[in-house]
Structures are given as structure tokens and as C-alpha cells.
Amino acid sequence: MTAPAPKPWIDAIAPYLPGRTTTDSGVRATKLSSNENPFGTGAPARAAYAAEAGTLDRYPDPGATLLREALAAKYGLDPTRVIYGTGSDEILHLAAGAFAGVGDEVLQVRYGFSVYEIAARRVGATLVVAPDKDYATDIDALLAAVTPKTRVVFVANPNNPTGTYSNRSDIARLHAGLPADCLLVIDQAYAEYLAPGADDGALELARGAQNVLVTRTFSKIHGLAAERIGWGYGSAPVITALHKIRAPFNVTTAGQAAAVAALGDDAFVDRSRDHNATWRAWFATTMNAIDGLRAVPSEANFSLILFEGRLTAQAAFEGLMERGYIVRWLPGQGLPHALRITIGTEEETRGVAAAIADMAAAA
């Protein structure tokens, strides 16, 4: 008997591999593989979530009104131009779905977020990959890869899995070099981890340009990964198109309430960002001091460690697993020689660093 045949472009998709939660032997371990907040969720967000236990029988507000208004007030936005999604992942899929299809090209950097490729292939578009510049986003290479068929350009800033950052003039130059009919998606999943005052100017571009979509998430610094809430900002025509194809009740009631509370909890965000900056710097210095290891400069809440000496990334990945640390090894993304490690608590960060140092000394 023949089963229904998926479309060939769906068949060609390599499935997304989530960060693992258990070791090879099934033990629950320290999870440093999904860039979650080691402090968990702020108390106000948890309370707002819990307070919605009595509303489970009702559909959520399909317009996410309070959330859009809170975002607009915080970032100086027009609330009618805010889109929200079941994670920012949904918004990335909406962007590809609304603006690209069979015969079109979707462009990304060499070491880009793996959801972009799935989003592009899902709609039958062709993924085009621009070379990196020592793991960082190369604006000239991206611009050189644009063709008349390019419909969407995905850039994460800071980027995942590299952690690298393109500054304001880089992003402005990228936007200025793109044709007006090409949508530039700037994925700011890690923007809150930037040093205070640092700003790549993406939201400002999205306020004024017709072809810019900025996406953000509550999954990372806000510690709400389980609730799946992302948002985006763009021009009215872009946002209107995204709304047409999003799921009707795509953000839960408790999630909307928790997100609004998290948005007002600056103390939690500041503490999370400051902790991350301190331990990210310590971790990079510690790794760079080990012969054969190199930390790619990161502005995010993780560090990509390159294994260029005797200790291989695979051996380190397996050794860390045995010692109870789950990190991200990404051979499927062209990084068989690297591990992406989330910055955890002080104890976790010291622990994973000591384990790597031990293995390097023994290799």
C-alpha cells in the first residue's frame, strides 16, 4: 500500500533537533543546550501565569490586546503593527510563508538559526547561504548573494549559534543594499543580552521602512520558553499579511498575562543580563586560556567554543554528557568542531569549564 507522499520540498527538510534534556544514559542533567534563563522565570510573570488557572475554558484574546499595548508602550511602537506568535519561531515561518514560495530564494548566513532553513523549505523556496567571516555575519557576502529572486533575508543579531553581533552601521548597510521588494527579517531573540545602550537600530528601521520585520521572544531572557510567546514589528502591509496566515488563537491566555508581567519586570531582566555578561566573559577567558580551544566573541547568553586542538568537540560533548552536562554539538549545521554552551548559573558555568579543562589536559 502506498502512503500519501509529502511534497518533495517537505521531504527534503532535515528535522529541527531540539536541545536535549537527558543524557545518553537517561539521567536528567544540567541542561546548557537551549539558551534558557538559569534564573528561571521572574516572580511577577509566574504569579500572572498562575492567576489565569480559572480561565482555561475560554479561548485567549485573539488580538493579544494587552500584550501589544504593553510592548508598544515599552518600545515606543504602534500597537497595530505588532504581530505575536507561538514563539518567535511561528513568526519566522509566517514571514517565509507570506513572502516566499516555489521559485523564490531565501537568504541567510552560513551559520544561521536552523529554523530559517525549515521555514524556507516548508514553502518550497530555495535556501541560499552566504559565507561567514570567521563565524560572524558578513554583510558584503550577504549583499553579494542577493538575486532578483531573493524574497526574504533572515539575520539573527546577535546570531545563533555563533553569538556574534553586527552593529548599527552593519545593519543599516545591509538594509540600504537590499531591494525594496525583499523582506529583511532581523531576529533579535538575544537583544536583551546586549550591553545597556547597545542597539543595532533594527527597531528604528522597522518603524520607518516598509520591508523590515524585527522579531523578539519571551523564551530567552524573560524565562518563558514553555509558554511559546514571540512578537514582531514591521510595516502595516507586512504585519497585515502575517496576520492572515497565523493560527487564530496562537498565544495562550496565561502566556499573554505572563508576558505582560515579564515586560514590566526590569529588575529580573537586568539581573539576568548582568549575570550573563559576567559569566560569559569569565567563560570565554577560561576557554581561550586552554590550548586548542577558542571562544567565538559572543553578545548572547551562550558561547560557541571551537575545538582546534587534540580534544575534539565530539569527545568533549560525550565527556560532558558522562559528567552530567548537556551542551549543543552541531555537526548537522556544519559545526562538527564546535560546541554551543549556554551560560548557566555560576556553579554550572564553573562546573562545565572545569570538566572541559580536565578533558583537554588529558587529551
Ligand X SMILES: *Cc1c(COP(=O)(O)O)cnc(C)c1O
**String marking each residue 111-150 x if it binds ligand X according to CB under 6 A:** --x-------------------------------------
Rounded least distance, CB 362 to ligand X, Å = 32
Contact 343, 280 (CB under 8 A): yes
Q: Would you count residue 227 as binding ligand X (CB under 6 A)?
A: no
- Which string of x and - marks every residue 19-38 that binds ligand X (by CB under 6 A)? ----------------x---
Q: Which amino acid is at 252?
A: T
* Cell 568533549, residue located: 316
Q: Is 356 a binder of ligand X (CB under 6 A)?
A: no
| Residue 299 within binding range of ligand X, rule CB under 6 A | no
**Minimum distance between the CB of residue 88 and ligand X, rounded to whole angstroms?**
4
Determine which residue in the list 41, 82, 89, 351 makes contact with ligand X, applying CB under 6 A. Answer: 89
Give the whole-angstrom CA distance, residue 102 versus residue 48: 43
Nearest Cα to 214, choosing from 191, 233, 235? 233
Q: Residue 92: in which H helix or E strand, if any?
A: helix 87-99
**Alpha helices for 147-293 (secondary structure H):** 168-177, 202-208, 236-245, 253-263, 266-288
The residue among 30 and 88 lying less far from ligand X, judged by its C-beta, is: 88
Q: Is the CB of 89 or the CB of 117 nearer to ligand X?
A: 89
Residues 176-205 that bind ligand X (CB under 6 A): 187, 189
Only one of the segments 13-21, 52-60, 139-147, 215-223 lies at the binding site for ligand X (rule: CB under 6 A); that segment is 215-223
* The Cα angle at residue 89 between residues 132 and 65, in degrees rounded to 5: 135
Of 37, 88, 235, 276, the one binding ligand X by CB under 6 A: 88
Kindly tell me which of 99 and 113 has the beta carbon lying closer to ligand X.
113
Near ligand X by CB under 6 A: residue from 37, 150, 160, 301: 160
SS3 sequence of 226-251: HHCEEEEEECHHHHHHHHHHCCCCCC
Reported as half-sphere exposure (CB side, CA atoms, 13 A), residue 316 has a value of 33
Non-local (6+) Cβ contacts of 220 within 8 A are 35, 36, 37, 189, 190, 192, 193, 301
Q: How far is the CB of 55 from ligand X (least distance, A)?
A: 23
Shorter beta-carbon distance to ligand X: residue 255 or 351: 255
Positions touching ligand X (CB under 6 A) are: 35, 87-89, 113, 156, 160, 187, 189, 217, 219-220, 225, 230
